[in-house]
Structure 1
Amino acid sequence: MIDLSRIDTWLFDMDNTLYPASVNLFSHIDERMGAFIAEELGVDRGEARRIQKAFFHEHGTTLRGLMDEHDVTPQRFLDYVHDIDMSALTEDARVTAGIAALPGRKFVFTNGDVAYADKVLSRLGLGAHFEAVHDIHAMDYRPKPEPGAYRGMCKRHDIDPERSLFVEDMARNLAPAKALGMRTVWIDNGSESAAYCADMNCVDLVIDDLGDWLARVTKDMT
C-alpha cells in the first residue's frame, strides 16, 4: 500500500480503468478506427490495422498520427470512432461508492473527448462524481504520455501533482505523472498494450480490480 495521507486530488484514466478491460468496449472503437483509416487512406483492412498500431506506438494515439501525417480533422475522426454500442457498460456499485467516498477533488484524464466520456460516465453511474474531464481537446491533441498533457492539466485545474494520485491501465502513461511527483497506480487488468514500454520504477502500486482497491482505500480512511 502507498501513503495516501497527503492526497487531495484523484485522477483516473477512463477506458479500461473505470470499467474492466473484459467488457471489451475498446474492441469496437478499435474496429471503427481501422474502418476509418481504410476509407480515409484507401487501403485494405490489414494495412489499415498496421498503420493504426504504428501511429499509436509512434504518436501516442492513432488520431495524432492521422493529424500529423494526413491532416485529418480531429472531430471527424472522434465522432466516427466513438459511434459505438455501449450496452455492455454497466454500473459497478463498488466503483461508484468508492469514488464517491474519496475525499477531495476527482478528475477524468482521458485521450478520448468529453462527448464520448460523458456517455461512458453516464452508463457507469459516475457522471456526477467528477469535477471535470480533461480530454484530448484540452490537451491540444498532444495525448498522454506526452509530458505537456500532464502539465497542462495541472495548470488548467490548479492541481498540485505532489498531492495527487493517478490511476491508469497503460503503464507507460504513468511515467510523466510520476516525474511530476504524483502517486501512481497501474490497474493491470489485461487491456491491450497495458505493459507496453512500462517502467516499473514509475509505478507505486499495481492492482487488478478497481472496485476492490477503492473499497480498501476508503475503508482505511474512515
Structure 2
Amino acid sequence: MDPRFAHVDDWIFDLDNTLYPASTRLFDLIDARMTAYVERVTGHEPVEARRVQKGYFRDHGTTLAGLMKHHDVDPKHFLDDVHAIALDRVAPDEQLARGLAALPGRQFVFTNGDAEYAGRVLRAIGIGDQFHGLVDIHACDYLPKPDAHGYRLLVDRFDIDPARAVLVEDMAKNLRPAKALGMTTVWVDNGSDHGDHDADPAAIDHVISDVGDWLQTILQGSNQ
C-alpha cells in the first residue's frame, strides 16, 4: 500500500463521473432530462431553460436545489424523472472491482443522486455488493454537496474518523468540506462538466484521472 494512504480505514467515493469515467457521457442523459424538466417547470424555451439549469447547478450545488428554492419542486418527482435513463453506456469495470475488493477497511458511496439510481449504476459497473453504506440526497435532506450537512451526517451515521478517511470526487469544490473535517482528498480530474469550478487547491491532496488505475497504483505500494 502506498504509505500516503496506509492510515486510511474508510474510503468514500462519489458516484457519477467518479466510479465510471466522464467519457461515458452517461450524465449527459440525466442532464438532458434536467433541461426538459426545467423547461416544463419554468415555461422557458430550451436555450433559456439550459441557462437557468446551469445557473442553479453553479449557485446551489445541484439543479434540484435551485428548483426547490425557486419553484417549490417536489424532490422525489424530480429525481425519479431525471434518473429514468438507460445504462447501456456503463460497462463492467473489472479493474475497479478488483481494486475496491483489495482495499483495507470500508467503502462508502456519497452522492448527490438518489440511492435507487446509484444502485442501478453500481450493479452495471459490477460493484453493487462492494460498499458498506451509501448516503444520497434524500438522506442529506436535499442539501447537496458541498453543503457541510451531508458530510457530517456521513461521518456520524457510520462512525467515521475523518482523519482516517479519504474522499474521492470529480467535483473539486466538493472536496473542501471533507478537507475541513480532516479527510484526505482525491480529485478525479477527468473532464467532468465544471469539475474544476470553484476549486480550492488547498483542499486537494491528490489529483488522479481514473479511479481504477489509481487503486491499482496505490495498492502496489507506489507513491508516484
Query: TM-score normalised by the shorter chain: which range applies?
Result: over 0.9
2:218 counterpart residue number = 217
Instruction: Give the number of equivalent residue pairs.
Output: 221
Moved over 4 A (4+): none
1:128 counterpart residue number = 129
Contact 1:99/1:129 (8 A) holds in 2:
yes
User: In structure 1, the residue corresponding to 2:20 is in which secondary structure?
Assistant: coil
Contact 1:187/1:206 (8 A) holds in 2:
yes
Question: Could you give the per-residue CA deviations for residues 153-184 of structure 1, whole angstroms, max 9, x where no partner exists?
Answer: 11111111111001000110001000000000
User: In structure 2, the residue corresponding to 1:66 is in which secondary structure?
Assistant: helix
Amino acid at match of 2:101: A
Q: How far apart, in 2, do the equivalents of 1:133 and 1:23 lie?
A: 23
Contact 1:2/1:205 (8 A) holds in 2:
no
Amino acid at match of 1:157: F
**What is the TM-score of this pair, normalised by structure 1?**
0.97
The 5-angstrom pairing of residues 73-88 of structure 1 reads 73-88=74-89
2:65 counterpart residue number = 64
1:92 counterpart residue number = 93
Q: How far apart, in 1, do the equivalents of 2:120 and 2:177 lie?
A: 28
**What is the TM-score of this pair, normalised by structure 2?**
0.96
Task: Report the CA distance shift for 1:2/1:174 in structure 2 as closer, same or farther (over 3 A).
Answer: farther
User: In structure 2, the residue corresponding to 1:123 is in which secondary structure?
Assistant: helix
1:198 counterpart residue number = 199
What's the CA shift for 1:29? 0.5
Question: Could you give the per-residue CA deviations for residues 26-68 of structure 1, whole angstroms, max 9, x where no partner exists?
Answer: 1110000000110121111111111101111111110011111
Q: How far apart, in 2, do the equivalents of 1:131 and 1:165 lie?
A: 15
The 5-angstrom pairing of residues 23-172 of structure 1 reads 23-172=24-173
Q: How far apart, in 2, do the equivalents of 1:140 and 1:209 lie?
A: 30
Amino acid at match of 1:107: F
What's the CA shift for 1:131? 0.8
User: In structure 2, the residue corresponding to 1:3 is in which secondary structure?
Assistant: helix
